[in-house]
Each structure stands twice: as structure tokens, then as C-alpha cells.
Structure 1
Amino acid sequence: MTATELPGDRPFVLLATRAEDLPADEEYALFLRYTGLSPERLLRVRLERDPMPPLDLDEVSGILVGGSPFNASDPLEKKSAVQRRVEAEMAELVAEVVARDTPFLGACYGVGTLGTHLGAPIDATFAEPISVVDISLTAAGRADALTTGLPEGFTAFVGHKEAISALPPQAELLASSPTCPVQMFRLGRNVYATQFHPELDLDGIVTRIHAYASYGYFGPDELDLTLAAVRRAPVTAPSRLLRTFVERYAR
């Protein structure tokens, strides 16, 4: 199915927060590629640069959230004015999304935004270095409409300083890994978050490794080890989530 064959004409919206143009532009290009959407059907909002625009959820097909250098668990005094603004805007939007069960898929930063809304503990207990990890679907994940096209076990790219350490009972756990128990969950019927990055390919994560080399994801002498870690196994399955999401929710 090509982008022109998707039903309806209401766009999807990608909420992004990367200040560096190269990884930001590459992230958008990856979302375009793996969703199959045209730029006219995937509107990008760079929240690190501009305030959240008015979003009428009745006029969009769904919301996508990319990864972020922001950490929800950072002490308030360490958060920049931009991060505090973005978090306040995301909190308001997420509250409406959850209340209305609007189609939503947040990658990595989506766990932080949805987890904060749920009051879930978010901390460094299950942080993962930039690498390829083995993900397993739960029984609920094997039955879910968004993940049924995935194999029961697959590899994915990760790299995060925080994670949900205990999933609240109102959320359904869909995928897990040995080093991070909450890799994907669902709220209601249509609101999803992944800790892993379904939008990334090898070139994309290599770009981010270089762009964020000074952000504390790995030590100053660990660049080569990190580059080797993301090449330890091929990653092909997670991007199916993005195509399935737009096919399911385009309207």
C-alpha cells in the first residue's frame, strides 16, 4: 500500500524535540519512510523550537512522538526553560489524547510522557546503553492489533537514561526485554508507547551516536564500543509498527 492509497485525508502529526538539525531531519525522513506517508500527510512540529500549535484531535488521524534528549526524571532545577515548556505542553496534550483514546504512538520519549501522565515511577533502574536488544512480545502483545505483525521475538535499537520501573495496572504490557521490563505498552485501545525506537535503521542510530556523543549516553572513550554494539545484530522488524499504525488509523 502506498501513501496515496491510504484512506482519508487527515494528516498524522510528528511531535519532535531534537535541537540538532541533522538528527532531527533524519528522524523525520525515517518516519516518512517507514510510515509510507508523504510530507503532506505527516506534519512535523519541532517543539524544541516552536510552541505547541493548536491541535484539533478531530482533524488528525493520529499523533506520533519521536525520541528526545529530554528526561522526565531530571530534577526540575536541571531542566531548561525549553524542556519545562515542552513537558507542560505535552502533558496537556497527552491528557486529552488519553481521555479521548486518540491514536498515539510515542517512541522512547513517549514512555516518559505517558508514564508521567500515569504517575508511573520513571528512573534509571532499567536504563539501557545505546545498543541492539532482544525484545519479546507478551501474550497481550501477540494478540494486539498493532503488534500482531511482529515476530514473538525480535531485535530493536535502544538507548535511554530512564525507563518505567513499574507499569501501572491500567496499562497493558505488550513487549519486554531482559534489561528493561517495559518495552511497549498500551492505554485504552489506541494509545501506545515504545521504549525502543521503531523508526531507526543502522544509519540513523549511527548519526545519533555521533550527534549525542557528549550527552552522557556513553563514556568519552566508548565511541567505538557503542558503534559496535548497534551492529551486533540486524534490526528489521520494529519499523512494521509505524506502517501498521498509519494503515490502522488513517482517516
Structure 2
Amino acid sequence: MKPFLILQLRPEDEASDDEYAAILRTGELAPANTHRIRLDRDPLPDLDLARYAGTIVGGGPGCVSDAPADKTPIDARAEAACLSLMPQITDNDLPFMGCCYGIGILAHHLGADVSKARYGEAVSAATCTMTPDGAIDPVLTGLPAQFDAFVGHKEAVQNLPQDTKHLLSGDACPFQMIRYKSNVYATQFHPEADANGFATRIRIYKDKGYFPPEDADALTAMVNAADVSHAPRILRNFVARYSGQM
């Protein structure tokens, strides 16, 4: 089968490696069936995305809505690399799954407002609710009408981008999952993350402004008690659909 392109933006080795392992595990992918690029350190080669089964973008500490002067050189470079691929993806309706950071990149590219004005969510297990369009989407096949997934983000999509479908909603953040055209998906939550992985991120990012550092232990206890067992099916379904197994 064609490989899946995995694009990562986390500059911390432990966080990046743990995220990659989670994507492999959740998507039931072998490393040999992926092409991993760490945009925090690796230059983006000239890519023909039609040669891949799909593109998966992980999360990261950067925000697309930050002023250019407030972005670190690493975040700015990774963001520019991601945005450079979006015309190829959206113009050709190529399979894409953007996780957390990916929804900001997609919505920004489509001209929607992405900002910190509203809808940011503290580190938590947020309840996602299926919309009518979500109930008939193949990537959400087999998921219940409501399920919890891990979130933690400062910025959010403020309005539904043009020509997109709203698949999953939430109370604090309305746009938890969207689809552009037929094959371009993005989630505000982390479908790849389990409790151990999110606890690792809490430890690594405790001084990055997502929460008061003194709350790290309580948040770790919270994620260990949460049930996010349904969310990983989204990545499994995505991989299965675009590798021809669904």
C-alpha cells in the first residue's frame, strides 16, 4: 500500500517520539508504511502528496494566530511548511487528518478566523457530540453519539470555514471536528492520545502556558481517570479507509 505521510511539529524529542508512536499504535500502522518528517528540524522536501495514502499532522506548542514576532523560529518554520502543502491537499481533495494544530492550519488556509478570542480549552477530557453530518461520515463509523477525547489548546476556530461540514461539536469549543470537501479532515482534540501520552505532554509542557504549573499533578490524575477509548477509532478508520481496508 502507499505510505502515510506523518508531519510533526513538536521540538521536544520525547514528545515527538511519543506522538509518533501513538499515531502508529492508534492507526495500526507499521513504521515501514509511513514517511515521518519532523518539521521542527527537517527541511520539507518537494513532495507529490498523491504518492501517499494520506497525510497526518500532529499537534505542537505553536499557534497559527500568534503574531509573527511572537513565534519562535522553529514554530514559524514548521507552520510555513505545513501551510505550503495545504493548496495541494485542498485543491485536489487529498486525504488529510490534522490533529489539534492541524485544524488551525486547515481553517486558516481556508480563510476562517482562528484566534484566542473564544473556545480555548484547558487540558481536559472534553465531550464530543456527533452532528447529523458526523453521523453519516465514514471516518466516524462505529463511534457513539457522544464520547470524550483529550484537549488542551489556546486558540480555536471561531467560525466554520466555507465548504466544510461540521462533524463533531463540543460545549466549550463548538468545532471539534470538521471535513472539507470529501477527504480533508481535522480535529480540535487529540484522537491519537491515551492517558500515558497525555500525562507525558502535561509534564513536558507544564511551563508553556496551557495551565498553571502547580496543577500538573492534578491534571495527570484527571487524565489517568478519563475514558477516551472511543476517540482512537477515528485515526483507525481514517487509515483503514485510505489504505483500502474499509
TM (norm. structure 1) is: 0.94
- Residue 232 of structure 1: CA displacement? 4.5
Instruction: Give the Cα–Cα distance (whole angstroms) in 1 for the partners of residues 112 and 211 of structure 2.
Output: 26
Alignment root-mean-square deviation, CA: 1.2
Q: Does 1:250 align with 2:243?
A: yes
Give the 4+ runs in structure 1 shifted more than 3 A. none
Q: Look up the SS of the partner of 2:104 in the other structure.
A: helix
Q: Give the distance between the partners of 2:44 and 2:104, measured in 1 at CA.
A: 18
Asked whether the equivalents of residues 124 and 222 of structure 2 are also in contact (C-alpha less than 8 Å), the reply is: yes
Contact conserved, 1:34 with 1:243, CA < 8 A, in 2?
yes
| In structure 2, distance between residues paired with 1:187 and 1:96 | 13
> Cα deviations across residues 96-121 of structure 1 (Å, max 9, x unaligned)?
10000000001001111101101111
**3-state DSSP of counterpart to 1:230:** helix
- Tell me the residue number matched to 1:157: 150
Which residue in the other structure is 1:48 paired with?
40
CA distance in 2, matches of 1:21, 1:84: 18
- 1:235 aligns to what SS in structure 2? coil
Report SS of the residue matched to 1:34. helix
| Partner in structure 2 of residue 200 of structure 1 | 193
Paired amino acid for 1:47: L
Q: More deviation in 169-178 or 183-192? A: 169-178
Write the letter of the residue equivalent to 1:165: Q
Spell out the pairing of 1:120-199 with structure 2 (5 A cutoff). 120-124=112-116, 125-199=118-192
Q: Map of 1:207-226 to 2, 5 A cutoff?
A: 207-226=200-219
Q: Paired residue for 1:4?
A: none
Contact 1:137 1:176 in 2 (8 A): yes
Structure 2 stretches lacking a partner, 5+ long: none
The answer as to whether partners of 2:196 and 2:224 remain within 8 angstroms in 1 is no
Q: May I ask how many residue pairs the two structures share in their alignment?
A: 243
Which one-letter code corresponds to 1:171 in the other structure? T
Output the amino acid matched with 2:144: P
TM score, norm. by length of structure 2:
0.96
Is 1:11 aligned with 2:3? Answer: yes
Residue number in structure 2 paired with 1:33: 25
Q: 1:97 is matched with which residue: 89, 112, 134?
A: 89
Tell me which amino acid in the other structure corresponds to 2:8: A
